[in-house]
Structure 1
Amino acid sequence: MDLHQHLRLMADYHRWAFERLYAEVDGLDEESYRRDVGLFFRSVHGTLNHLLLVEHLWQARLRGTVFPVSGLDQELEPDRAQLKARLLAFAAGWRPFVDALTPAQVAGDLDYRNTAGQPFTLPYASLVLHVFNHATHHRGQISTALTQHGAKAPVMDLPYFLLKEVPRAALHG
């Protein structure tokens, strides 16, 4: 599997993992959903909002544009149902984004600025993968919050995705 194929696979996994996460998050009552349980972004809602913000932030950088933010805890969507719809739509949008990448983009570097304005140059494909890895980190935090609220943590491990969702030929093509 080449790097571009791997990016496609991870984009599909990213969407699938969010769908699995929301299958459990949807069962939380409103108070539990918004309660500060000590996550980096306090609550399940705060963490999901952070994920939406970072999806926008990184996709803008990867497109060579800017998504202005006031902070990584900025609330983009206060409404729970709208946040879900926006985050799932954004997660689904990564596959077409990755499909459209040229070989030169995948093999190249990205010049960007962090939220403090500092310039960086890093491998483009690694930064795309970072978006998916970053979400995995925070989905894990949300899984902990779910269990703290007495809910079930979803199974979101990559091997389960590969076994259940990916045709065997695609893994070796």
Structure 2
Amino acid sequence: MSAVRNIRMLTRYNKWANNMLLAAIATLPPDEVTKQRAAAFGGMSFALAHIGIVDQIWRAHLLGIEHGLKSRTTESPDALVLLAEKLNQMADWYIQYADRMSEPLLNEKVHFSFVDGGAGEMTRGDILIHVCNHKAFHRGHIGDMFYQSGYRPPPIDLPVYIRDAFNESELG
């Protein structure tokens, strides 16, 4: 098992988990999606928007370009349909990026500036792991919001993905 294989698998897992969660969110009453809560980022749509913003930031770092963002949050998240579209486009980008990686490229250092202005340095592999882990972290927050609303989130753990959707042959 190699780091390249794992990164490729994790990017695909993230797209699958996002889509499972987005499909479940789409079945909720609309006010549950936008409802402000005592939770990370205040609500489902805000958490989804944050995931997308952070994906944009790290993509820019990986590409060595400026992202132009001043915050990791938004005051007014897009509608669920648009959020889902943006998250899927970003997931596809990360899958394609991971598919171009090799062990030497994963170990290459990337220098960047955090949104707050501090300097940072991580390997490409560490950035990709962080991006995947970050999404999982906030999907957990959203899952908790389901329970707060009296609904059950979909099962989106990695073992469920491996059982239900994973295809080793996609990893190259």
Is TM > 0.5 for Structure 1 vs Structure 2?
yes
Distance 1:155 1:33, change over 3 A: same
Computed over aligned residues only, the root mean square deviation of the Cα atoms, in angstroms, reads 1.9
What letter corresponds to residue 122 of structure 2 in structure 1?
Answer: L
1:41 aligned counterpart, secondary structure: helix
Indicate the residue corresponding to 1:151 in structure 2: 151
Indicate the residue corresponding to 2:27 in structure 1: 27
What letter corresponds to residue 67 of structure 2 in structure 1?
Answer: F
Q: Does 1:38 align with 2:38?
A: yes
Indicate the residue corresponding to 1:120 in structure 2: 120
1:111 aligned counterpart, secondary structure: strand
Verify the 8 A CA contact 1:52 1:76 in the aligned structure 2. Answer: no
CA drift of 1:98 comes to 0.9
Using the alignment, how far apart are the partners of 2:30 and 2:170 within structure 1? 40
* Equivalent residues in 2 for 1:24-173, closer than 5 Å: 24-75=24-75, 77-167=77-167
CA drift of 1:53 comes to 0.4
Verify the 8 A CA contact 2:33 2:44 in the aligned structure 1. Answer: yes
Using the alignment, how far apart are the partners of 2:40 and 2:63 within structure 1? 27
What does the per-residue CA deviation read over 1:8-50, in whole Å, with 9 as the maximum and x for residues that have no partner? Answer: 0001101010011112111122211111112221010100000
CA drift of 1:149 comes to 1.3
CA drift of 1:78 comes to 2.2
Unaligned runs of 5+ in 2: none
After TM superposition, the score normalised by the length of structure 1 is: 0.91
Distance 1:96 1:108, change over 3 A: same
Distance 1:93 1:162, change over 3 A: same
Verify the 8 A CA contact 2:45 2:80 in the aligned structure 1. Answer: yes
Using the alignment, how far apart are the partners of 2:82 and 2:110 within structure 1? 31
Unaligned runs of 5+ in 1: none
CA drift of 1:75 comes to 4.9
Verify the 8 A CA contact 1:33 1:45 in the aligned structure 2. Answer: yes
Using the alignment, how far apart are the partners of 2:148 and 2:45 within structure 1? 15
Identity of aligned residues (%): 22
What does the per-residue CA deviation read over 1:132-170, in whole Å, with 9 as the maximum and x for residues that have no partner? Answer: 000000000000101111222111111111122224677
Verify the 8 A CA contact 1:24 1:151 in the aligned structure 2. Answer: no
Using the alignment, how far apart are the partners of 1:143 and 1:28 within structure 2? 12
Verify the 8 A CA contact 1:50 1:75 in the aligned structure 2. Answer: no
What letter corresponds to residue 88 of structure 2 in structure 1?
Answer: L
After TM superposition, the score normalised by the length of structure 2 is: 0.91
Using the alignment, how far apart are the partners of 1:2 and 1:69 within structure 2? 34
Aligned residue-pair number: 172
